[in-house]
Chain A
């Protein structure tokens, strides 16, 4: 049922990987460029996208505005870079990586399940 030799994480301990200052500098540069981009993009109207589906007489639909989507995409990219390099996740154990992912999974659960209620209220009764 269990593997007697399954590895204890203690066995996986190692000297932390040292990231070079060069890498840090590149990341810093990318982050600054991304900041400038997101700031500039907000001055451009990227338009919107209407999604509407007619399912057996239900009108299910929503409108997607591109500006916040792009802004959040850039923010997520910046976050990923900080987490991977500044916070050394790229060089961390699987356990730490899993920890980070599970945190965001539950956070997205909170946001998406709550939002699902708000969005679907507009769909009306059965």
Chain B
């Protein structure tokens, strides 16, 4: 390379006329490939941020669980393993349908894309619905700390809650430890709440993507947004993959 090719010397502005680029290429990128790479990489960096965001919650959980293990065990027994497992399954299947949606966009199949986006949306709604049922149950049982007069009855006297008692035969907790079940439920609501918030954002974005997909916006070879949204959706799935054993499966035997 010689100096004659160097920077900004002479040369007229606007080397390439605009018509050469596809309409979805933003002006400051040189090629479509660069645009895809950059936005995809940006999404990954954002997910890193999200990992650390949940990281703070997981750290708190770890410390509290080690300190108040009995309270965490009995708090966990109050969760429905049926709903929890069902929700895990729903979310994993939704991850699959999302992956298929990305595949459909890559293969430029509009019908399949709409189908899988729709399925993902429905599974997302189903997840939130089940979450709502579970939360409502906690509300009724006065297991929502901070807002709704917390009741330690089920932990001071497990027999008062026959449904759970029948299955686990928990021994009564000391009053001090029974109070710590509030910590468990605080973390339960903080973690599942933060996760559900991400789900809600995801579902809203899905609606937006679905509407745009109907106009063929993602089946013309430019599927970056679907791909990046897919990454987000899978990430939310991964968070749940960890929340499920940590919150539901503490010592079920």
Contact = CB atoms under 8 A, between A and B. Distances in A.
Contact of A103 (B47, B103, B227, B253): B47
B37 interface: yes
Tell me the interface secondary structure of chain B in the complex.
Answer: helix
Interface in A48-101: 67-68, 71-72, 74-75, 78-79, 82-83, 85-87, 93, 95-96, 99-100
B133 interface: no
Interface string A3-39: 0000001100111101111001101100110010011
Nearest to A79: B238
B101 to A, nearest CB: 11
Contact of B55 (A14, A96, A99, A110): A110
**Most chain B C-beta atoms within 10 Å of own C-beta, residue among A9, A39, A78, A93:** A39
Interface in B24-60: 30-31, 33-34, 36-37, 40-41, 44-45, 47-48, 51-52, 55-56, 58-59
Interface size class, chain A:
35 or more
B241 A75 contact: yes
B234 interface: yes
B249 A24 contact: no
B96 A28 contact: yes
A79 B242 contact: yes
Contacts, number: 136
Contact of B231 (A31, A72, A74, A87): A87
Interface stretch (B8-16, B87-95, B147-155, B201-209): B87-95
A32 B248 CA distance: 17
Contacts of A16: 36, 106, 227
A39 to B, nearest CB: 5
A2 interface: no
A1 interface: no
A42 B55 contact: no
Interface in B219-253: 227, 230-231, 234-235, 237-238, 241-242, 244-246, 248-253
B106 A24 contact: no
A83 B237 CA distance: 10
Interface in B72-118: 81, 85, 88-89, 92-93, 95-96, 98-100, 103, 106-107
5 contacts: A32-B92, A42-B251, A42-B253, A75-B242, A110-B56
Which 5 pairs of residues, A with B, have the shortest CB-CB distance? Answer: A71-B245, A13-B33, A42-B249, A103-B48, A28-B96
Given A43-B252, A86-B96, A86-B234, 5 more contacts: A19-B99, A24-B103, A35-B88, A39-B249, A96-B41
